[in-house]
Amino acid sequence: MRFKGKRVLVTGGARGIGAGIAKAFVEEGATVAINARTDASIATRCEADGIDYLRVPGEIGPREACFDVVNRAVDALGGLDVLVANAGIFNEVLFEDVTQEEFDANITVNLAGVFFCAQAAMPALKESQGNIVAIASDASIISYSGAPAYCAAKGGVTSLVRSLAVGYAAHPVRVNSVCPGNVETEMLLQSAAASGDAEGYLRQARGRAPARRMGVPREVAAAVLYLASDDAGYTTGVSLPVDGGGIAGFD
Protein backbone atom coordinates (compact mmCIF):
# COMPACT_ATOMS: atom_id res chain seq x y z
CA MET A 1 0.00 0.00 0.00
CA ARG A 2 2.69 2.48 -1.06
CA PHE A 3 0.09 5.04 -2.14
CA LYS A 4 -2.38 4.99 0.73
CA GLY A 5 -3.84 8.48 1.01
CA LYS A 6 -2.22 9.63 -2.25
CA ARG A 7 -4.14 11.42 -5.00
CA VAL A 8 -3.42 10.45 -8.58
CA LEU A 9 -4.54 11.65 -12.02
CA VAL A 10 -4.04 9.36 -15.03
CA THR A 11 -4.71 10.93 -18.42
CA GLY A 12 -5.84 8.53 -21.11
CA GLY A 13 -6.78 6.14 -18.32
CA ALA A 14 -9.82 4.39 -19.77
CA ARG A 15 -8.01 1.73 -21.77
CA GLY A 16 -4.67 0.11 -22.51
CA ILE A 17 -1.59 1.14 -20.57
CA GLY A 18 -3.44 3.96 -18.79
CA ALA A 19 -6.13 1.61 -17.51
CA GLY A 20 -3.48 -0.77 -16.16
CA ILE A 21 -1.75 2.11 -14.39
CA ALA A 22 -4.96 3.45 -12.84
CA LYS A 23 -5.97 0.04 -11.48
CA ALA A 24 -2.49 -0.60 -10.05
CA PHE A 25 -2.56 2.69 -8.13
CA VAL A 26 -5.95 1.85 -6.62
CA GLU A 27 -4.69 -1.58 -5.61
CA GLU A 28 -1.90 0.15 -3.67
CA GLY A 29 -4.22 2.50 -1.82
CA ALA A 30 -4.46 5.62 -3.99
CA THR A 31 -7.52 7.65 -4.86
CA VAL A 32 -7.46 7.89 -8.65
CA ALA A 33 -9.06 10.22 -11.16
CA ILE A 34 -8.96 9.06 -14.75
CA ASN A 35 -9.32 11.10 -17.88
CA ALA A 36 -10.54 10.06 -21.32
CA ARG A 37 -12.25 11.84 -24.16
CA THR A 38 -15.76 10.85 -23.03
CA ASP A 39 -17.46 10.15 -19.75
CA ALA A 40 -18.97 7.02 -21.27
CA SER A 41 -15.57 5.44 -21.83
CA ILE A 42 -14.58 6.18 -18.22
CA ALA A 43 -17.86 4.69 -17.01
CA THR A 44 -17.10 1.54 -19.01
CA ARG A 45 -13.69 1.30 -17.36
CA CYS A 46 -15.22 1.79 -13.89
CA GLU A 47 -17.61 -1.06 -14.58
CA ALA A 48 -14.92 -3.33 -16.02
CA ASP A 49 -12.59 -2.83 -13.04
CA GLY A 50 -15.29 -2.63 -10.38
CA ILE A 51 -13.72 0.63 -9.21
CA ASP A 52 -15.43 3.97 -8.75
CA TYR A 53 -12.75 6.17 -10.29
CA LEU A 54 -13.23 9.91 -10.23
CA ARG A 55 -14.15 10.95 -13.77
CA VAL A 56 -12.55 13.89 -15.57
CA PRO A 57 -13.44 13.55 -19.25
CA GLY A 58 -11.98 15.95 -21.80
CA GLU A 59 -9.50 16.43 -24.60
CA ILE A 60 -5.77 16.40 -23.92
CA GLY A 61 -3.55 18.61 -26.05
CA PRO A 62 -4.63 22.25 -26.23
CA ARG A 63 -3.53 24.29 -23.22
CA GLU A 64 -7.00 25.37 -22.14
CA ALA A 65 -8.35 21.83 -22.36
CA CYS A 66 -5.44 20.42 -20.33
CA PHE A 67 -5.88 23.03 -17.63
CA ASP A 68 -9.61 22.27 -17.47
CA VAL A 69 -9.01 18.52 -17.00
CA VAL A 70 -6.25 18.95 -14.42
CA ASN A 71 -8.05 21.63 -12.43
CA ARG A 72 -11.22 19.53 -12.24
CA ALA A 73 -9.16 16.56 -11.07
CA VAL A 74 -7.35 18.61 -8.41
CA ASP A 75 -10.69 19.94 -7.15
CA ALA A 76 -12.26 16.47 -7.06
CA LEU A 77 -9.24 14.88 -5.37
CA GLY A 78 -8.60 17.76 -2.97
CA GLY A 79 -5.05 18.13 -4.26
CA LEU A 80 -2.62 16.07 -6.31
CA ASP A 81 0.34 13.86 -5.48
CA VAL A 82 1.01 12.13 -8.81
CA LEU A 83 0.31 13.09 -12.41
CA VAL A 84 0.62 10.27 -14.92
CA ALA A 85 0.69 11.94 -18.33
CA ASN A 86 -0.29 8.96 -20.44
CA ALA A 87 -2.79 10.19 -23.05
CA GLY A 88 -1.45 9.68 -26.56
CA ILE A 89 -2.10 8.70 -30.14
CA PHE A 90 -0.16 6.56 -32.61
CA ASN A 91 -0.25 6.36 -36.38
CA GLU A 92 2.15 4.95 -38.92
CA VAL A 93 2.69 7.33 -41.82
CA LEU A 94 5.91 7.42 -43.81
CA PHE A 95 7.90 10.65 -43.69
CA GLU A 96 7.09 11.73 -47.25
CA ASP A 97 3.38 11.21 -46.65
CA VAL A 98 2.93 13.02 -43.32
CA THR A 99 0.41 15.84 -43.66
CA GLN A 100 0.27 19.01 -41.62
CA GLU A 101 -2.83 17.64 -39.90
CA GLU A 102 -1.13 14.37 -38.93
CA PHE A 103 2.00 16.14 -37.72
CA ASP A 104 0.01 18.66 -35.68
CA ALA A 105 -2.10 15.90 -34.09
CA ASN A 106 1.01 14.03 -32.92
CA ILE A 107 2.64 17.13 -31.48
CA THR A 108 -0.59 18.39 -29.89
CA VAL A 109 -1.63 15.20 -28.11
CA ASN A 110 1.66 13.40 -27.52
CA LEU A 111 3.85 16.37 -26.58
CA ALA A 112 1.75 19.46 -25.86
CA GLY A 113 -0.64 17.31 -23.84
CA VAL A 114 2.19 16.30 -21.50
CA PHE A 115 3.59 19.83 -21.41
CA PHE A 116 0.35 21.60 -20.52
CA CYS A 117 -0.96 18.95 -18.11
CA ALA A 118 2.35 19.23 -16.25
CA GLN A 119 2.10 23.01 -16.30
CA ALA A 120 -1.42 22.91 -14.91
CA ALA A 121 -0.52 20.35 -12.24
CA MET A 122 2.71 21.96 -11.03
CA PRO A 123 1.22 24.27 -8.36
CA ALA A 124 -0.58 21.36 -6.69
CA LEU A 125 2.48 19.10 -7.02
CA LYS A 126 4.75 21.73 -5.48
CA GLU A 127 2.35 21.95 -2.55
CA SER A 128 2.30 18.17 -2.04
CA GLN A 129 5.95 17.63 -3.06
CA GLY A 130 4.57 15.17 -5.57
CA ASN A 131 5.81 13.94 -8.91
CA ILE A 132 5.08 13.41 -12.59
CA VAL A 133 5.50 10.24 -14.62
CA ALA A 134 5.10 10.73 -18.37
CA ILE A 135 4.55 7.85 -20.74
CA ALA A 136 7.00 8.29 -23.58
CA SER A 137 8.05 5.39 -25.85
CA ASP A 138 11.02 3.33 -26.92
CA ALA A 139 10.61 5.39 -30.11
CA SER A 140 11.83 8.40 -28.13
CA ILE A 141 15.20 6.70 -27.72
CA ILE A 142 15.69 4.56 -30.84
CA SER A 143 14.51 5.32 -34.35
CA TYR A 144 11.42 3.91 -36.01
CA SER A 145 11.14 5.03 -39.63
CA GLY A 146 7.48 4.02 -39.92
CA ALA A 147 6.18 6.76 -37.61
CA PRO A 148 8.47 9.82 -37.75
CA ALA A 149 5.89 12.32 -36.42
CA TYR A 150 5.24 10.06 -33.43
CA CYS A 151 9.00 9.70 -32.83
CA ALA A 152 9.45 13.46 -32.94
CA ALA A 153 6.70 14.02 -30.39
CA LYS A 154 7.83 11.29 -28.00
CA GLY A 155 11.44 12.43 -28.26
CA GLY A 156 10.18 15.81 -27.12
CA VAL A 157 8.58 14.17 -24.09
CA THR A 158 11.84 12.68 -22.82
CA SER A 159 13.62 15.99 -23.36
CA LEU A 160 10.83 17.85 -21.55
CA VAL A 161 11.07 15.41 -18.64
CA ARG A 162 14.78 16.17 -18.20
CA SER A 163 14.14 19.92 -18.35
CA LEU A 164 11.38 19.80 -15.74
CA ALA A 165 13.36 17.43 -13.52
CA VAL A 166 16.23 19.91 -13.35
CA GLY A 167 13.98 22.93 -13.00
CA TYR A 168 11.82 21.59 -10.17
CA ALA A 169 14.17 19.27 -8.22
CA ALA A 170 14.60 21.84 -5.46
CA HIS A 171 10.87 22.28 -4.82
CA PRO A 172 11.00 19.18 -4.66
CA VAL A 173 8.95 17.78 -7.56
CA ARG A 174 10.37 14.74 -9.32
CA VAL A 175 9.72 14.19 -13.05
CA ASN A 176 10.42 10.92 -14.85
CA SER A 177 9.20 8.95 -17.84
CA VAL A 178 8.61 5.34 -18.81
CA CYS A 179 9.41 4.25 -22.35
CA PRO A 180 7.38 1.17 -23.30
CA GLY A 181 8.17 -1.01 -26.27
CA ASN A 182 5.40 -2.95 -27.95
CA VAL A 183 2.62 -3.52 -25.43
CA GLU A 184 -0.47 -5.57 -26.22
CA THR A 185 -3.20 -2.94 -26.06
CA GLU A 186 -6.25 -1.90 -28.03
CA MET A 187 -4.16 0.79 -29.77
CA LEU A 188 -1.59 -1.73 -30.99
CA LEU A 189 -4.28 -4.15 -32.15
CA GLN A 190 -5.93 -1.32 -34.09
CA SER A 191 -2.59 -0.57 -35.79
CA ALA A 192 -2.28 -4.26 -36.65
CA ALA A 193 -5.73 -4.30 -38.20
CA ALA A 194 -5.01 -1.14 -40.18
CA SER A 195 -1.83 -2.64 -41.64
CA GLY A 196 -3.77 -5.06 -43.83
CA ASP A 197 -1.84 -8.02 -42.41
CA ALA A 198 -2.74 -8.21 -38.75
CA GLU A 199 -1.08 -11.57 -38.09
CA GLY A 200 2.14 -10.50 -39.77
CA TYR A 201 2.13 -7.20 -37.89
CA LEU A 202 1.66 -8.94 -34.53
CA ARG A 203 4.28 -11.56 -35.34
CA GLN A 204 6.78 -8.79 -36.09
CA ALA A 205 5.78 -6.89 -32.94
CA ARG A 206 6.36 -9.97 -30.77
CA GLY A 207 9.69 -10.76 -32.40
CA ARG A 208 11.25 -7.30 -32.40
CA ALA A 209 12.57 -7.39 -28.82
CA PRO A 210 15.08 -9.97 -27.55
CA ALA A 211 12.41 -11.17 -25.11
CA ARG A 212 10.43 -12.37 -28.18
CA ARG A 213 7.12 -11.16 -26.85
CA MET A 214 5.13 -8.02 -26.29
CA GLY A 215 4.66 -6.47 -22.89
CA VAL A 216 1.36 -6.19 -21.03
CA PRO A 217 -0.02 -3.06 -19.32
CA ARG A 218 0.64 -4.28 -15.78
CA GLU A 219 4.39 -4.45 -16.54
CA VAL A 220 4.42 -0.80 -17.58
CA ALA A 221 2.27 0.03 -14.54
CA ALA A 222 4.84 -1.57 -12.23
CA ALA A 223 7.53 0.75 -13.57
CA VAL A 224 5.28 3.78 -13.24
CA LEU A 225 4.40 2.96 -9.63
CA TYR A 226 8.07 2.51 -8.76
CA LEU A 227 9.01 5.91 -10.19
CA ALA A 228 6.02 7.56 -8.48
CA SER A 229 6.80 5.97 -5.10
CA ASP A 230 9.05 7.02 -2.25
CA ASP A 231 11.29 4.09 -3.24
CA ALA A 232 12.43 6.32 -6.13
CA GLY A 233 12.82 9.40 -3.96
CA TYR A 234 16.34 10.09 -5.30
CA THR A 235 15.39 9.42 -8.92
CA THR A 236 14.43 12.23 -11.26
CA GLY A 237 14.96 13.02 -14.92
CA VAL A 238 15.16 9.39 -16.05
CA SER A 239 13.53 7.68 -19.02
CA LEU A 240 13.05 4.04 -18.03
CA PRO A 241 12.65 1.52 -20.88
CA VAL A 242 10.15 -1.29 -20.41
CA ASP A 243 10.73 -2.99 -23.72
CA GLY A 244 11.93 -6.58 -23.41
CA GLY A 245 15.49 -5.46 -24.18
CA GLY A 246 14.68 -3.78 -27.48
CA ILE A 247 16.71 -0.66 -26.78
CA ALA A 248 19.69 -2.71 -25.57
CA GLY A 249 20.15 -4.28 -29.00
CA PHE A 250 19.35 -7.26 -31.22
CA ASP A 251 20.70 -10.79 -31.17
CA distance 184 to 175: 26
Query: Which of 53, 150, 168, 201 does the annotation list as catalytic?
Result: 150
Give the contacts of 215 (CB within 8 A, at least 6 positions apart). Answer: 180, 181, 182, 183, 184, 242, 243, 244
CA distance 163 to 239: 12
User: Phi and psi (nearest 5°) for 141?
Assistant: -115, -45
Give the contacts of 133 (CB within 8 A, at least 6 positions apart). Answer: 82, 83, 84, 85, 176, 177, 178, 224, 227, 228
Q: Which amino acid is at 6?
A: K
In this structure, the number of other CB atoms found within 10 A of the CB of residue 248 comes to: 12
CA distance 82 to 85: 10
Q: Is 201 a catalytic residue?
A: no
Active site residues: 150
